[in-house]
Amino acid sequence: MLIKRFYDDKLAQASYMVGCQATGDAVVIDPHRDADFYVDAAEEEGMRITAVTETHIHADYASGTRELAKKTGATMYLSDEGGPGWEYEFAEEDGATLVRDGDGFEIGNIRFRIMHTPGHTPEHICFEVTDGAASDKPMGIFTGDFIFVGDVGRPDLLEKAAGVEGTMEAGARQLYKSLERVRNMPDYLQIWPGHGAGSACGKALGAVPQTTLGYEKVVNWAFACETEDDFVHSVLQDQPEPPVYFAKMKAGNRDGWGVLGHLPTPDHLPADRLEEVIATGAPVVDLRRRTAFQGGHIPGTLSIPFNRSFTNWAGWLLPYDKPIYLLAEGGEQEAVSAARDLAFIGLDNVAGYFGVGAFNAWVESGKVLESAPSIGPEEAQRRLDAGEVHLLDVRGTAEWNEGHIPGAHHCHLGTLTDNLDSCPSDKPIVVACRTGARSAIGQSLLLKHGFDNVINLEGGWVGWRQAGLPVSTE
């Protein structure tokens, strides 16, 4: 038996390949959209992907189940437990095998048993796995977004992201029942979850790749809740805002994305076309780290640094209906990599990229790379007190509620584009977040939209507190 875990840092997402070495057959669970990635991995192990499945209709990334099945000719196993609104639209057309609680399938000597575990979503299933060659006892469970390491999948996404009112609490209660069901299973079972630290699908995920059922029973807050109501209350509390693109993902994953064949390969565009592209209003995403952007950037570009938060902020800020351009100092390799990450959340419309030459051409043509200024907390305080600046806090609501700078205005970074009206055009705007990273994205967004005096609060809320400046919780 072979188990391989594949972890995508930016999605904080885990997919798995489970194969039987006796027959060479393998199943992939919860694949992202880069089908070649799995084909390569299978080849490296001398395996043949003969089945593809997923735990649920994901909200946070574009499922690759269909893509991979098309490419490999593998059988698709999809949940039939969702009921109206949660049925895979493409299942019939593609000849997928629909599965329900108690059903099973086999990969060589390995047996998979379906467990319906609603809560995070109505159709959510888990896969209990038994290595038939070794024993008839189960070895573990692929839990998707049901049980994480130290947490459980949030049941409020459906309502918040997809706008289906009144489902949060029902989901929470279903989730409690699903937990009750597994509580009686053996402690020694391995738990292979669908997400790790940083995912918006749970609130307290650690960077430990997997866990055991027995350990979770001991340490996971969800198992520790004494009553269903306690649990429901806790699980719905303080969940961060789900990114706006989640609704898009839900629909795409249910209805089926078009088959790509190959991830999009962005075209390298001549440096001298950059100005014309910016003039169209299409987003040109500068992938460099924020200080590089602040030190000097091409006016009109948007800063979304290509780090672990890239996919998240791209999903919040980039349009699904316009061409997207990348500004990749690292050249083709970086651009291809970023385009792959965008395709992972369905942003397939990357129209091309500009390379390092765009910066050089800018400078050589006698234009100046604009800097984006920042100030420290003391100076911010002074200017705020003097009424010279408008202070904009772009953190999440929960963070804001925990404490903020007195006199600040609040607008979550992800919704800033829709709330530009609330920003003054006659006064410098100081943008703040927790440490200065998100606010730098906000700064570039405001600059791009014509606000010409925008300043980043270096160090953010953390720096503000370290400087011992006044705080408010109202």
The whole-angstrom separation of Cα 219 and Cα 234 is 15
Q: How far is the CB of 261 from a copy of itself (least distance, A)?
A: 6
- For residue 421, the tally of other CB atoms under 10 A from its CB is 6
Specify whether the CB–CB gap between 66 and 54 falls below 8 A.
no
CB of 21 to a copy of itself, least distance (A): 7
443 in contact with a copy of itself (CB under 8 A): no
For the chain, how far is it from start to end, CA to CA, in angstroms? 57
The least CB distance from residue 189 to a copy of itself, in Å, is 7
Q: Which is nearer to a copy of itself, 57 or 149 (CB)?
A: 149
Distance between CA 433 and CA 457 in Å, rounded? 8
Are 102 and 112 in contact by the 8 Å Cβ rule? The answer is no
Q: Choose one: 45-53, 119-127, 174-182, 338-346; the region binding a copy of itself (CB under 8 A).
A: 45-53
CB of 422 to a copy of itself, least distance (A): 28
Q: How far apart are CA 355 and CA 331, in angstroms?
A: 5
The CB-of-47 to a copy of itself minimum distance in angstroms stands at 9
Q: Using CB under 8 A, which residues numbered 326 to 345 contact a copy of itself?
A: 329-330
120: left (phi over 0), alpha (psi -120 to 50) or beta: alpha
Which position among 359, 451, 461, 464 is part of the footprint of a copy of itself (CB under 8 A)? 359
Select from 272, 378, 388, 402 the one that contacts a copy of itself (CB under 8 A): 272
Part in contact with a copy of itself (CB under 8 A); list of ranges 79-87, 115-123, 158-166, 260-268: 260-268
Q: Residue 168 or residue 445: which is nearer to a copy of itself going by CB?
A: 445
142 vs 246 by CB, closer to a copy of itself: 142
Residues annotated catalytic, as ranges: 433
For a copy of itself, give the closer residue by CB, 365 or 415: 365
Please answer whether residues 45 and 56 qualify as being in contact, where contact means their C-beta atoms are separated by less than 8 angstroms: no
From the list 351, 323, 315, 350, the residue with the least C-alpha distance to 61 is: 315
93, 188, 388, 402: which one contacts a copy of itself (CB under 8 A)? 188
Among 100, 177, 183, 207, binds a copy of itself (CB under 8 A): 207
Return d(Cα 49, Cα 38) in angstroms, integer. Answer: 8
What's the Cα-to-Cα distance from 364 to each of 175, 269, 426, rounded to whole Å? 60, 18, 33
Interaction with a copy of itself in 59-118: which residues (CB under 8 A)?
Answer: 71-73
d(CA 213, CA 381): 50
Among positions 22, 219, 398, 471, the unique one binding a copy of itself when judged by CB under 8 A: 219
Nearest to 76 by CA among 85, 86, 63, 60: 63
- Per-residue string for binding with a copy of itself, 278-317, x by CB under 8 A? ----------xxxxxxxxxx--------------------
**Where does 373-459 have alpha helices with state H?**
377-385, 397-402, 437-448
213 near a copy of itself, judged by CB under 8 A: yes
- Interaction pattern, residues 108-147, with a copy of itself; x per rule: CB under 8 A: -----------------------x--xx-x-xx-------
